[in-house]
Structure 1
């Protein structure tokens, strides 16, 4: 049995991919030093020609990664701050995502973008604390948000092997998670949800690090309500079948999602449930507020994020 951290799991997945396939390479700032944990020790092992420190221009090295992917490589791009995704949205959504579609599959862009530490960290303020996974899911880019070390390993492994662009959000709130691993680490299929806890009264769909919050609240309320915790893992494509199956057991839905409320991922889950399921009560969302910009003050930062108390209240509300 091995105690595996989330950051180490991602590092191992990338190392295994570099070892297995010479087409895999890495572009990013400070990747040689491995400051974010994803690439720690990999430049020394695989060389600066495959783990490439780049100048401070996200648009430039993302474009270079797209070009490399079009020419048969499988680049992994590390972005240290989630807000940098706004800078490269044009390259990812309008170029990388559309090449294959607009060429009838003649061109492939097997590009993986990883944000190791997305969402809020301790007082990183408005321009460093976004969680824009809904934006990429909306335009149809494969979008991942693993909650556990084994899922981080498995989904990153699958992303690197995928022939389409993939954006993987590694939530800051999950980076400290450790997991006892007894079996070999294996790829996790993109598009497959995971039930972390079975239940019969209410389904809680939790994204990323909020899976652990949901599990804690479910345990706290165990004498009061039977909570099923469903982790989509892949936000796009969403595992609609798993959601429908879970709601067929419980008939009640709460979604906890660390992104802005309006037009967010939670709204899509509620829409799927309304279209395809017969619910026993109106569903609830626990999210950041509409248009939230997290302030520098840590207490205010935390006040705008989904809290366990809000989740408890939402679960009790759908039971009334």
Structure 2
């Protein structure tokens, strides 16, 4: 029997096999990828990876930063340094940072040897940040991990925002992009300066907290999403460049909406359309997000999230950087395209619905 005859007689069977493989393989790979990702991220980081380390948590007065500080202190870090602006003093002269430090100290056992300290400075101020980094190293010694949680969100509708009366875009870039830039650069410069003629002790890990708003086209986040996307771009370059300095490992965490005081304040002025779209996703407790953040650091994943759709968004937006479970991501690629298209259509549907609702009300 010739090959042509064999192919002709079994054509539809072959087509069925090809189509089945084209559907089954991507779906199975995607489900395996998601299952493995969430299974591993739910396993708490081993205390051994944290114990004995000096961990610097930037933006730790509340929310995710404070939750991270509480968690690393509980896990047995030798030193935990919390930072924030610290300008919001109450009638007793205490700032949220002061209360956060007290909370971390009070969470420890009486026989704990964890040293908890703080530093007050504005990450958007280059000089303040550089001075603070010098002081932190002088007073508390070398930093092993630095976790940059500082950030702020001011959602607004781009066209409705009076650029002559508001500098929201500049503020977002100053806090969410230049802030981390100042912290990383300030810390590394301080490491070099304090080392003198000896080899500098650089941190082994640098973790930047971005946001899923950097990966999704959410109306109302023109400034916030752009600033967090800029942070992602910075991370992609520094991930390779920082390898020059004792192999510093840079990682990025992309949380979704967190149930924090920051979100509550943000919701006070959030546009209705933004609320409508975000209403699709649930908020995550800061403690859960902190545990996911630390687990990802322990796993060594470059770019990660604890959100289901976020897993797809991260995979699509990974660009030319390392992927975890890369073979599964390759096989899952068709699913990524389908889901991303579905999300884009969903967002457009929400915008049209909102627009029609406005017309009806007027």
- TM-score normalized with structure 2 length: 0.38
* Larger fraction in strand: 1
* Larger fraction in helix: 2
- TM-score normalized with structure 1 length: 0.42
Flag the structure with more relative contact order, 1 or 2, with Cα contacts below 8 A and sequence separation at least 6: 2
> Larger Rg: 1 or 2?
2
